Amino acid sequence: MRLWLTAFLLSLLILAGWSLKPSGIREPGIFEINPRTPYFHYQPSGPEAGRILVVHGLDANKEMMNVLCLGLSDAGFNVYSMDMPGHGDSTAGFNAMLARQSINAALDLLGPNTIVIGHSLGGALLLDLASERSYGTVVLLSPAPTPVDKIRADRMLVLTGQFELPKITVFVPQLEITGSEGVDLRRIPWAGHSGYMIHPEAIREIVVWLGGDPARLQTTRRLLLLLLEIVSALSIGALWLRGKPVAAERIHLPSRIISYIAACTVALLISGVVVIASWLRLYSTDYLISFVFVIGVALAPLYIRKLSFRFSQIPVGILAAASVIAVAVLVGSELVHLTLSDGQWWRFAAITILSLPLAFADEVLLRPIRPWWKGAGVAALTRIAIAAYVVTGVLTMNRDDAFVVLVIHFIAILWMVLWLAGEFVRRRTQDPLATAVFTAIVQAWIFAAIFVRI
């Protein structure tokens, strides 16, 4: 029965992936400028409605703009979506002035009449470039506040989310352009800083405003097929990782929670003096990785005596991690950059090692809490505590790392997803170390692929 179910789910996965192919053609390429800049080129299947350069935001990448770019391509636009230095497939380190230089050079290559679309920092850099070049059509998605006089552009659309960052909400109404059409300001309901970039109605608004053909949009279909891929892949994993329930232990919950809070306090104080993983040279987020490592080490007295090396189950944890990563690359790469390039492989290995102490602490101290939903609830509570301490640290003692505040909710969600996935691995292996290896590897891969290198 399990083999038949697996075959059915695998067929769904393959069919959804095949059906997900865009209506036009997406090809990777390199702008031969300084620095060399990777991009995706989306060619429309029908008559061209215009040429567009899309620039992502900080700690994002061209893959995160993929759903929007595919929608623009559906509607007839010839789209180029670039990686800024330090992001995605770029091998250069991140520097705002270098990013500005690469955008300017890319626009020189693409020529006049290129429509520009920028999200967050990408929008801010386009605004900054307005001091030396003029635009025809501009679309800004939640642009980061940037000192700028009147912008030399014919027309401009600015989108923000209903739950936008306060500084952006104050900044956007101040934007002015030289063009007679003025600035069209629109707010997307029930959206935050970036979520609306995959929202079908928001993409339709942009297409209509640009003069494309909204009837050709396939965004909703594309998102449903992505969801089908994800559900099929998760179901296959759940089928093959079934096992016995984790043995329950008598645990005094208040003391366990207090121990995590105490470890967070230690991490806060130490990280205020020295960021242990600063040698990773990840923009702001090396602070987060250092914090996680110190928490795991601080909890060591509670779990070190239970540390056992049953190597027979570790390959299962590694295989499970490799399977999750493979599916994430195949499916998740439609939404975020998840492959590793030069400069990311050694960071992956380092982050794996730095993540292991806390991952093992979780398996020994929290996973045996039964029923499983109670353990998941305590795990969620400790993740919230860690996130709160990280935010406190970067806002009080480590202000140079304050960007972490903008991504910490995504990280907290990732932690809980990994916790739930780890439940299946733990049931299959009955080994806390094998499960900790699984969690550390998957987390490290995602961190190394996404976080910005400097």
Which domains, ranges and CATH numbers included, belong to the chain? 24-217 (3.40.50.1820), 241-450 (no CATH)
Whether pLDDT at 4 is above 80: no
Return the pLDDT at 331: 78
Return the pLDDT at 447: 95
Measure the CA angle with vertex 237, ends 333 and 408; round to 5°: 50
Q: Are strands 153-161 and 77-82 parallel, antiparallel or unpaired?
A: unpaired
Classify 333 as helix, strand or coil. Answer: coil
Would you say 71 and 203 are in contact if contact means Cβ atoms under 8 Å apart? Answer: yes
Whether pLDDT at 164 is above 70: yes
Return the pLDDT at 69: 95
The tens digit of pLDDT for each residue in 397-453 reads 998 888 898 889 889 999 999 999 999 899 888 899 999 999 999 999 999 999 988
Return the pLDDT at 286: 93
Write out the two tokens for 135. 């635009």
Whether pLDDT at 206 is above 60: yes
Q: What percent of the chain has pLDDT over 70?
A: 94
Return the pLDDT at 437: 95
Q: How far apart are CA 424 and CA 242, in angstroms?
A: 6
Q: How far apart are CA 272 and CA 210, in angstroms?
A: 48
CA 263 centroid distance within chain = 27
Q: How far apart are CA 137 and CA 183, in angstroms?
A: 11
- What are 117's strand-pairing partners? 54, 139
Q: Are strands 50-55 and 77-82 parallel, antiparallel or unpaired?
A: parallel
* Least confident among 18-32, 150-164, 296-310, 346-360: 18-32
pLDDT range class, residue 308, cuts 50, 70, 90: low
Return the pLDDT at 238: 72
Classify 142 as helix, strand or coil. Answer: coil
Average per-residue pLDDT for the chain: 89
Would you say 234 and 257 are in contact if contact means Cβ atoms under 8 Å apart? Answer: no
Whether pLDDT at 31 is above 80: yes
